[in-house]
Amino acid sequence: MIFLAKASEIPEGERKLVKVNGVDVAVFRQGGRFYALNNACPHRQGPLSRGTVEAAAEGAGCFVRCPMHGWRFDLATGDSNGRPANATVYAVDQRGEELYIEI
Ligand code: FES
């Protein structure tokens, strides 16, 4: 596991771009939970850390919409809702105030 960030660096509803082992990782905090995705959109490498976060109705997940061409990805799974490629997600392990990921 590799240190990612301190939880307090990412307030609720915010995101942060972190470089881990040379990989740009977009970290989001939504609903008290942390999500980490490869920042490069699988379509044409748009920066997901600058995307718009959307919550589904009735608590059915959170999504980020790529700022380049609008593909939408599930923050938890990277699922692209039928597009040709999914986003790469990394499991976040929260240990107290510190966040770690395996990459
Ligand atoms: S680069 Fe993300 S939708 Fe095209």
User: Which of 66, 81, 83, 86 is the best mutation target for the ligand 1 pocket, counting ligand atoms within 8 Å of the beta carbon and taking the most?
Assistant: 66
7 three-state secondary structure: helix
Ligand 1 centroid distance, CA of 7 (Å): 28
The minimum-distance atom of ligand 1 relative to the CA of 44 is: 1
99 forms beta bridges with: 5, 94
* 72 CB near ligand 1 (under 6 Å): no
* pLDDT attached to residue 28: 97
| Under 8 Å between Cβ of 64 and 22 | no
Which pLDDT does position 60 carry in this prediction?
Answer: 75
If the chain, 103 residues long, is cut into consecutive pieces of 10 residues, what is the mean pLDDT of each piece? 97 97 96 96 98 82 96 97 96 97 92
Q: Per CATH, which fold does 2-101 belong to?
A: Rieske Iron-sulfur Protein (2.102.10)
Give the model's pLDDT for residue 61: 85
For the chain, domain boundaries: 2-101
Please check whether residue 78 is in contact with residue 88, taking contact to mean a CB–CB distance below 8 angstroms. yes
pLDDT value, residue 59: 66
